[in-house]
Amino acid sequence: MYGDTFRLKLGFGKSVIFSRDAGFAQYALQKNHKNYTKSPIQTRDLSKYVGFGLLTSEGTLWQKQRKLIQPAFHKKQLVNLLETVQSAINAELIKMDTGKPIDIFPIFNNLAFQTVVKSLFSSAVNQKQINKLQHITESAQKMLVMELRQPHLGWWFRLSGKIKKQISETKDARNVLKKLVNERKRSRKREDDLLDMLLDARYEDGSFMELEQLIDEILILFVAGHETTSNALTFTCELLARNPNIQEQVFQEVVKAKRGTENVIDFIKACPFAKNVIEETLRLYPPAYFIDRVNIDEDEFNGMHFAKNSSLLFSIIEIHRNPAYWEEPTKFKPERFSDVNSSQFSGHYFPFGAGPRMCIGNNFAMYEMILTIAEIAKKYKISEKKAPIEINPLITLKPKNAILEFNFR
């Protein structure tokens, strides 16, 4: 193989097929998705910390859970959460230090976690519980990164008790969540938050989700709903700092939208350029910068043959920067995602994946990011920065040395 798809031999008879072919990615993720499963990294390695929820499950369990949970993330349902999301964002951004260079990633990391927790539990969760849940979630992610980057030390991670300690901490998080869920059930008080939506959801036979499965899904929401969003928000601000004219356009749009709307959803709709800015950021710096799959049966695409159980790695960041698909692919051009043009990119734009396993929280994430960037643009001006943006490609594409200066307008 050569060109946009090639095989990399890893030794001991193992190999990985890398591809930046958008057509092949679309084929595996969408057109022939039934023949492609997630790799053991997600179905086995991550599941030992967060259980088997939408992100880590496969087959009939995934189909059953996706069908059950999908309605809770429909745009019409999410409208009920927007006041909570806006409040959580404002509470975090008010802590922003101004007038001096600061590392912005921790700010957005906290903001994203606070937002997802409060969207789930409203005011029923206290700050001590949030801090504990965030610590355990992030330490589990760090442990997984170490396991994947240093597989030769797997024996040490087990014998030293590191994995056992992390699993024990995860059990503590599960106990906190069970307490919150059971308190909600006993109170019979409706908050119309994500927890209520998940508790209301019924399978086809009329039954409700079992408690352990519900906890799995909540842990998955923590993992999937905060790190990728914080990465994207950080990269967005990095790009705005390097493009002051675009930053000013967002500011002018937000000021106009604030004057002309009365509720949160109408405000979001009145900020199409802010949405374009985020879409373009996700193109250049997609948090899920690669997607892995394993084919169940042997397959063929464009004359290339793949034996069953081949490991495939689709480079989303390279697809998003491939000059065959994008004009001036390395340039930050939010206007390319205007309503007139955006539909033409569907075949080679995968910030939330594609096909049936496309991220269920994509609308929630977009609403959250638009509101956050709009609030920043309204309150602060990001000082211009010209140094290249640094990245740290781990499980997700993370920012590195994201030092920016914010000043009140």
* pLDDT above 90 coverage of the chain, percent: 72
The beta-strand segments (E) located in 214-297 are 290-295
CA proximity to 76, closest of 400, 270, 364:
364
List residues bridging with 407 in a β-sheet: 381
Residue 22 has a CB neighbour count (10 Å cut-off) of 23
| pLDDT of residue 189 exceeding 90 | no
- Which pLDDT does position 8 carry in this prediction? 80
Question: Hey, is 192 helix, strand or coil?
Answer: coil
pTM as predicted? 0.94
Could you report the per-residue pLDDT of 319-373, keeping only the tens digit for each? Answer: 999 999 999 999 999 999 986 666 688 899 999 999 999 999 999 999 999 999 9
- Which pLDDT does position 1 carry in this prediction? 46
Could you report the per-residue pLDDT of 63-80, keeping only the tens digit for each? Answer: 999 999 999 999 988 999
Mean pLDDT of 47-52: 88
Count CA atoms within 13 Å of residue 35 on its CB side: 18
Set out the domains of the chain in order of their start, with CATH numbers.
32-288+351-390 (1.10.630.10)
Could you report the per-residue pLDDT of 153-187, keeping only the tens digit for each? Answer: 888 888 888 889 999 999 999 999 999 999 999 99
Could you report the per-residue pLDDT of 257-269, keeping only the tens digit for each? Answer: 999 898 999 999 9
Mean pLDDT of 134-161: 84
The two structure tokens encoding residue 292: 């892995």
Mean pLDDT of all residues belonging to the chain: 92
- Which pLDDT does position 83 carry in this prediction? 94
Tell how far CA 20 is from the center of its chain.
21
Q: Under 8 Å CB-to-CB from 252, ≥6 apart: which residues?
A: none
CA proximity to 401, closest of 223, 281, 284, 241:
241
DSSP letters, 96-163, are: ---SSEEE-HHHHHHHHHHHHHHHHHGGGS-HHHHHHHHHHHHHHHHHHHHHHH-GGGHHHHHHTTHH
In the numeric block, the tokens 């009145």 are attached to 270
- Which pLDDT does position 346 carry in this prediction? 84
What is d(CA 285, CA 317) in angstroms, rounded to the nearest whole number?
Answer: 7
Could you report the per-residue pLDDT of 269-328, keeping only the tens digit for each? Answer: 999 999 999 999 999 999 999 999 999 999 999 988 999 999 999 999 999 999 999 999
**Which DSSP helix (H) or strand (E) runs through 232?**
helix 211-242
| More confident call, 50 vs 390 | 390
Task: Give exposure, 58-96, as e/b (b: 16+ Cβ within 10 Å).
Answer: eeeebeebeebbeebbeeeebebbbebbbebbeebbeee
Question: Hey, is 360 helix, strand or coil?
Answer: coil
Q: How far is CA 362 from CA 16, 145, 409, in A?
A: 28, 24, 31
Q: Under 8 Å CB-to-CB from 31, ≥6 apart: which residues?
A: 355
Q: Which burial class, exposed, middle or buried, applies to 24 when counting CB atoms under 10 A from its CB (0-12, 13-18, 19+)?
A: buried
- Which pLDDT does position 188 carry in this prediction? 85
**Which DSSP helix (H) or strand (E) runs through 89?**
helix 82-93
| pLDDT of residue 2 exceeding 70 | no
- Which pLDDT does position 49 carry in this prediction? 86
